[in-house]
Amino acid sequence: MKYIALIYSAEASEPPYGTPEFGTYLAEYQAANETYARDGVLVAGEALNGVSTATTIRVRDGKVETMDGPFAETKEQLGGFYLLDCDNLDEAIRYAAMIPTARHGAIEIRPVMSFG
């Protein structure tokens, strides 16, 4: 079954880009990526640009409305995702716990709906 692991954090809680701590942080992500690939559970995964680049749209009465920024004002923003193919929720939780952001943010895991 496929599970999406949505990665949320407050941008200020992550190590600053270009610092040694950021390099260590990226290395931890690389180690998780290598484990996922080795174990055959990685379907996809990407990091997202910051919330300042977000555009939210709504269609109301046939008209497209746009708004700069994310849908909701929150302390933690969606920063990326992994799509994992796991046998069950327990396995998905075990792999999601390897995501470094889990130490200072939150990882939301959801099963992907299958229509066929």
Euclidean distance between CA atoms 92 and 5, whole angstroms: 8
pLDDT tens digits for range 2-51: 999 999 998 888 899 899 999 999 999 999 999 999 999 999 999 999 88
pLDDT tens digits along 72-104: 666 788 999 999 999 999 999 999 999 999 999
Query: Residues, the chain, total?
Result: 116
Task: Give the domain ranges of the chain.
Answer: 2-111
Query: How is domain 2-111 classified at the CATH fold level?
Result: Alpha-Beta Plaits (3.30.70)
- pTM, full prediction: 0.89
